[in-house]
Amino acid sequence: MMTNLFSIFDPSTPYFASFNWFSMALVFLFNPMYYWTTVNRLTLLFKKSVLMLFMEFSLLLAKYPYLTLLPLSLFYLIMFNNVPGLLPYVFTATSHLSFTLSLALTMWLAITLFSMFNNTNNMLAHMIPMGTPPILMPFMVLIESVSLLIRPGTLAVRLAANMIAGHLLLELLSSATAFTPILWSPLLNMAQIALFMLELAVSFIQAYVFATLATLYLSEAK
């Protein structure tokens, strides 16, 4: 039972017409089409979402507005991996730490190096909050250093754990369909629809949280 349950996270599972890791590249195949097709509701929705996120992220990055390209790219990359993963036979890359940790670690390393070489004094100043008593300064430096080092791990685990939890609940409810009496089938179907809508919302929310935290880390580095 456990092997069948967690096999949905195995990219080598021989499902028919399974995209597996190829699902990560779907965004790069379909996104350029928006620039060559006529204006429609989908393109307008996409452009409005880009403009809304750009305005929100640029408030935190007023000094370096070009850096908003990083959280915007992260948001759409994660979103286009989360949402298709809810479809049958499509592998969810963001449910694996190998994907989320690589993404978070690369982003964290780039931001840390950017801060280290461009604003070293500000980076060191964040280690000791204003008004800290001298006796607590060594402990604050230690706490802030640990907080800085665990950032990529918390980002990666948060994203992967939320994707895994939602997919496991959907799999458990789907596997219970064959054993559910007919009278209880409508209730089970309603629960599956509600959970699917919740997981769809989580897919957008987790992409937004990841991009927002990246923006906050960038704002500290400027």
pLDDT for 145 = 83
The pLDDT of residue 12:
59
Q: And the tokens for 161?
A: 């754990």
Distance from the Cα of residue 102 to its chain's centroid: 12
pLDDT in tens, 59-99: 877 777 778 888 888 898 888 888 888 877 777 888 888 88
Annotate the chain with three-state secondary structure: CHHHHHHHHCCCCCCCCCCHHHHHHHHHHHHHHHHCCCCCHHHHHHHHHHHHHHHHHHHHCCCCHHHHHHHHHHHHHHHHHHCHHHCCCCCCHHHCHHHHHHHHHHHHHHHHHHHHHHCHHHHHHCCCCCCCCHHHHHHHHHHHHHHHHCHHHHHHHHHHHHHHHHHHHHHHHHHCHHHCCHHHHHHHHHHHHHHHHHHHHHHHHHHHHHHHHHHHHHHHHC
Which segment, 15-24, 34-43, 126-135, is predicted with the most confidence on average? Answer: 126-135
Q: Give residue 28's pLDDT.
A: 65
Give the model's confidence band at 201: pLDDT under 50 very low, under 70 low, under 90 confident, else very high.
Answer: very high
CB contact burial 116-155 (16+ within 10 A = b; e otherwise): eeeeeeebeeebeeeeeeeeeeeeeeeeeeeebeebbeeb
pLDDT band, very low/low/confident/very high, at 207 (cuts 50, 70, 90): very high
Q: What is the pLDDT of residue 25?
A: 67
Give the pLDDT confidence score for residue 202 in this predicted structure.
92
Give which of 194, 188, 217, 3 is closest to 104, Cα–Cα: 217
